[in-house]
Amino acid sequence: MILSEYGELNQTKLLSYCGLNIVKHKQILDSMEKKGLIERKVEPWGKKSIIKYKVSPKGHEFFKLILEPYEEMFPRVDGDE
């Protein structure tokens, strides 16, 4: 859902926005990529490279069919309520 909102994020920001730890939870991204829900691309950044992710067409379909109706039925509650 985060990628649907932002379009494309690097690995660190994506996991941070989801409240996940890169060391403990990177396998979640690997699994989603393997299932075709997200796409990964490596971009050069000086002497290093950064990994960016975006939602794949299959991931968009999953979001529309499963996650959007779920969000409508069970909206996230703010801490203010």
Structure tokens at 66: 């499963």
Q: Is residue 78 one of the residues assigned to a domain?
A: no
Q: Is residue 38 one of the residues assigned to a domain?
A: yes
**pLDDT tens digit sequence for 2-56:** 888 888 999 889 988 888 888 888 899 999 999 999 999 999 989 999 999 999 9
Say if residue 15 is exposed, middle or buried (CB neighbours under 10 Å; 0-12, 13-18, 19+): buried
CATH number at residue 17: 1.10.10.10
Q: Is residue 79 one of the residues assigned to a domain?
A: no
* pTM, two decimal places: 0.76
Residue 40, domain extent: 2-73
Give me the mean pLDDT over the 64-77 stretch. 83
Q: Is residue 55 one of the residues assigned to a domain?
A: yes
Q: Is residue 54 one of the residues assigned to a domain?
A: yes
Give the number of domains in the chain. 1
